[in-house]
Amino acid sequence: MSKSLQAIRGMNDILPEQTPLWRYFEGTVARLLDNYGYKQIRMPIVEFTELFKRSIGEVTDIVEKEMYTFEDRNGDSLTLRPEGTAACVRAVLEHGITGGGQVQKLWYIGPMFRHERPQKGRYRQFHQIGLEVFNLDGPDIDAELIIMTWRLWGELGIRDAVKLELNSLGTSESRGRYREALVEYLSAHHDKLDEDSQRRLKTNPLRVLDTKNADTQAVLVDAPKMADYLDDESRAHFEGLKARLDAVGIPYVLNPKLVRGLDYYSKTVFEWVTDKLGAQGTVCAGGRYDGLVEQMGGKPTTGVGFAMGIERLVLMLETLEQIPEEISRQVDVYLCAFGEAAELAGLALAERVRDQLPNLRLQVNAGAGSFKSQFKKADKSGALYALILGDDEMAQQVVGFKPLRGQGEQQSIAWDALAAHLATCVVQG
Ligand code: ATP
Ligand code: MG
């Protein structure tokens, strides 16, 4: 194929053999979110560039170097969304649905775009399921978000492979005091910091805590700790969260270096991390952002949320072989018909069966073919049973019913009795 007809690097097709696992994952999360009382919101994929600059922060990796920004035909600067929170906040403000303290528990799903170096678990178009809660300011809701994800890991069979890391960033006032102390300390050790950290010290000093550089990490060992600068309110909030996680029995580790990449967090921040995916270890991350809505021009409105990376979680299901058996089979029953009259009768019969068993995965052979070739297709489809309609069956108004997996002889079933018979032998999803 010519080079111009390839997908963009880091932007992947999700092929038919992969979509069943994606749909299983997405369906499991969606059901859980419904059950906990969250409502779905859908935002556009493209927004004004200004939205992300104002919400995410000018001196973050995302805004500095990862955004897909372009001018449209009107000369407006637009950006493919790199994350969901900014657009979600814009949407609730625009439609006034968080006004007067109205609580909103919202979730969204969809593609995000960041110009990063593509590698396993890191792509330029990737997919997130995210969630935002507005106007609930207590630790109880922070706990609910984490409890819900804990349940999700349990349902998916990956609970043993993830670890919860927690930190509190305090209010913006206490974080400001901490930032000053940190800058003072790091400035005194300026020459021992790596280049990136020297730059961050000036632009976004908390991000230095996040460094992967060993020399800088050594300097950080004796650096001031956020925990010592927490104001009483943040401290009580954090204790409240931990007490709730303890009550439910969710283990966590405190990670004072967890600062998250975005500027807007306050108080609680958390990440679910795994060692099963190499360097791309964070599968779900979030926190509280009580100041963001006001910063974006709204009335003071508290917020807390998270986003999980679908690619990474699907990779985990594959790596840990937690793929439910039922999703690998796409067809329950395959109908073979021989000759034109049988084909017409087969179509009508299939529709009658579908009327009665709307969840049955019934595939009708297309493309005619010999007995042998249709049978081969039936087998290859993965179906549990083949239905056979030939001249003999037509004459008797029956259909041949043949198990394709394991034992069992072929039987004849009257057309009128077919749906009832199938209901007894096919477990319907
Ligand atoms: P990382 O530290 O891995 O770059 P991040 O802090 O930039 O992650 P968030 O902005 O918090 O990530 O996004 C939430 C989740 O979305 C991440 O935990 C991860 O699972 C997923 N994610 C983020 N960036 C990518 C990407 N480029 N490709 C695939 N998944 C991603
Ligand atoms: Mg990142």
Give the CATH H-level superfamily of domain 330-424.
Anticodon-binding domain (3.40.50.800)
The Cβ of residue 358 has, within 10 Å, a number of other Cβ atoms equal to 8
pLDDT at 280: 86
Decide: residue 300, CB within 10 A, 0-12 exposed, 13-18 middle, 19+ buried: exposed
Q: Is 114 in the pocket of ligand 1 (CB under 6 A)?
A: yes
Residue nearest to atom 16 of ligand 1 (CA): 309
CB 304 within 8 A of CB 331: no
Please name which ligand lies nearest the alpha carbon of 261.
1
d(CA 13, CA 200): 36
Tokens for 106?
């919202």
Residue of the CA atom closest to atom 21 of ligand 1? 309
What's the token pair of residue 417?
């009795």
pLDDT digit of tens for each residue in the chain (429 aa)?
556 799 999 999 999 999 999 999 999 999 999 999 999 999 999 999 999 999 988 878 888 899 999 999 999 999 999 999 999 999 999 999 999 999 999 999 999 999 999 999 999 999 999 999 999 999 999 999 999 999 999 999 999 999 999 999 998 888 889 999 999 999 999 999 999 899 989 988 888 998 889 999 999 999 999 889 999 999 999 999 999 999 999 999 999 889 876 667 889 999 999 999 998 899 999 999 998 999 999 999 999 999 999 999 999 999 999 999 888 788 999 999 999 999 999 999 999 999 999 999 999 999 989 989 999 999 999 999 999 999 999 999 999 999 998 778 999 999 999 999 999 988 655
Is 261 close to ligand 1, i.e. is its CB under 6 Å away? yes
- Domain ranges (residues) in the chain: 19-171+231-319, 330-424
**pLDDT score recorded for residue 363:** 97
DSSP label at 407? S
CB of 123 within 6 A of ligand 1: the answer is yes
Atom of ligand 1 nearest to the CA of 82: 10
Name residues whose C-beta falls within 8 Å of residue 116's C-beta, 6 or more positions apart in sequence.
10, 66, 122, 123, 124
**What per-residue confidence (pLDDT) applies to 210?**
83
Contacts of 30 (CB under 8 A, 6+ apart): 40, 109
pLDDT reported for residue 428? 57
Question: Does residue 88 line the site of ligand 1, with CB under 6 A?
Answer: no
Ligand 1, atom 14, lies closest to the CA of 307
> Which atom of ligand 1 is nearest the CA belonging to 308?
15
Topology of the domain covering 19-171+231-319: BirA Bifunctional Protein; domain 2 (3.30.930)
H or E element at residue 85: helix 85-94
- C-alpha–C-alpha distance, residues 145 and 152, integer Å: 11
pTM metric for this prediction: 0.92
Q: Output the pLDDT for position 64.
A: 86
Tokens of residue 388, six digits: 């056979």
**Does ligand 1 come within 6 angstroms of the Cβ of 306?**
no
Give the pLDDT confidence score for residue 3 in this predicted structure: 63
Name the residue at shortest CA distance from atom 28 of ligand 1. Answer: 122
Give the relative orientation of helices 85-94 and 49-56 as an angle to the nearest 10 degrees.
110
- Å from CA of 309 to ligand 1 middle: 6
Which among 12, 312, 314 is the best mutation to test ligand 1's pocket, defined by most ligand atoms within 8 Å of the CB? 312
- Asked if residue 92 lies in contact with residue 305, where contact means CB atoms within 8 angstroms, the answer is no
Residue 373's Cα: distance from chain center in Å? Answer: 41
